[in-house]
Amino acid sequence: MENTTLAGTLALVHPEIRTDPSAMQGQVGIITYADNRSDDVYLRFENGRESRYASDAVLILKNKADLLNDLKNNTHIQVADFKDLYKVGILQDRGRPADVVQALQIAANNPNIRDNALLAVSAVIGTSQERSVAR
């Protein structure tokens, strides 16, 4: 069964993916197709290239409400990390594609906030495997 609700969502290739034949680690693309039966997520990148990744290698922004709850409940966060999380929330709230790309890039560049700001597609479609293929 394919998950068409993710189609068109801006997503990030995990910056620490072990195998990436497309060499797009940490890059932002658009989800064109996600299939929970095969654990495949297809991303199209700005350069026109399309690549297939396992769903746990593709990250999307968490829901704004969850992000705000994490901000409120995380009392041991460093000031710089708090500011980055706050920026991600503000940019996500604006909702413009360029702002969402910037929010994804901020989260990609700060490993301390990745778990608070991003969610693996596998959590959305319910599968997880390690594989990716480029074309």
Going from N- to C-terminal start, the domains of the chain cover: 4-60+119-134, 62-116
User: pTM of the entire structure?
Assistant: 0.85
Residues 87 and 80 sit within 8 Å (Cβ to Cβ):
no
For the segment 8-31, the average pLDDT, to the nearest whole number, is: 91
For the segment 74-82, the average pLDDT, to the nearest whole number, is: 85
What is the model's pLDDT at position 125?
82
What is the spatial distance between Cα 75 and Cα 77, in angstroms, rounded to a whole number? 6
DSSP letters spanning 37-57 = TTTEEEEEETTS-EEEEEGGG
What is the model's pLDDT at position 131?
45
Residues 67 and 88 sit within 8 Å (Cβ to Cβ):
yes
Average pLDDT, the chain: 86
| Domain 4-60+119-134 class, CATH top level | mainly beta
Those residues with Cβ within 8 angstroms of residue 40's Cβ, 6 or more apart along the chain or in another chain: 33, 34, 52, 53, 54, 55
What is the model's pLDDT at position 15?
93
What is the model's pLDDT at position 62?
92
Residues 81 and 110 sit within 8 Å (Cβ to Cβ):
yes
